[in-house]
Amino acid sequence: MTLRPPRRLHRRGTDRRPRLALTVTTLFFLLLYLPIGVVVLFSFNGQKSLTVFKGFSLRWYSAFFHDNVLIESLGMSLRVSLVAMAGSVVLGVALALGLVRCRTRLGSLAGLIMLVPLITPEIVTGVAAMLLFKGMDITLSSGTVMLAEITFSISYVTVILRSRIAALNPEVEEAAMDLGATRWQALRLVTLPALLPSILASAVLIFALVFDDFVLAYFTTGVDPQPLSVRIYSAIRFGVQPTINAVGTLMLAGSIGLIGLALAIPRLFGRRGGLDLLSGK
Determine the pLDDT at residue 270: 63
Determine the pLDDT at residue 280: 47
Asked, for residue 201, whether it belongs to a domain, the answer is yes
Using DSSP, state whether 56 is helix, strand or coil.
strand
In a 10 Å sphere around its CB, with 0-12 CB exposed, 13-18 middle and 19+ buried, how is residue 5 labelled?
exposed
Asked, for residue 189, whether it belongs to a domain, the answer is yes
Question: Does position 273 have pLDDT exceeding 90, yes or no?
Answer: no
Residue-wise pLDDT for 1-48, tens only, equals 555 555 555 555 555 667 888 888 889 888 888 888 888 888 888 887
Using DSSP, state whether 165 is helix, strand or coil.
helix
- The residue ranking higher by pLDDT, 223 or 72, is 72
User: For residue 172, what are the domain limits?
Assistant: 78-224
Question: Does position 277 have pLDDT exceeding 70, yes or no?
Answer: no
Distance CA 217, CA 143 (A): 11
Asked, for residue 118, whether it belongs to a domain, the answer is yes
Instruction: Indicate the pTM of the whole model.
Output: 0.76
Asked, for residue 270, whether it belongs to a domain, the answer is no
Quote the percentage of the chain above a pLDDT of 90. 12
Determine the pLDDT at residue 84: 93
- The residue ranking higher by pLDDT, 278 or 46, is 46
Asked, for residue 148, whether it belongs to a domain, the answer is yes
User: Which residue pairs, CB below 8 angstroms and at least 24 apart, start in 167-173?
Assistant: 167/281, 168/194, 168/195
Question: Does position 207 have pLDDT exceeding 50, yes or no?
Answer: yes
Determine the pLDDT at residue 83: 94
* Beta carbons of 84 and 210 less than 8 angstroms apart: yes
Asked, for residue 280, whether it belongs to a domain, the answer is no
Question: Does position 192 have pLDDT exceeding 80, yes or no?
Answer: yes
Indicate which CATH number applies to the domain containing 120.
1.10.3720.10
Asked, for residue 240, whether it belongs to a domain, the answer is no
Count of the separate structural domains present in the chain: 1
Asked, for residue 57, whether it belongs to a domain, the answer is no
Average pLDDT score, the chain: 82
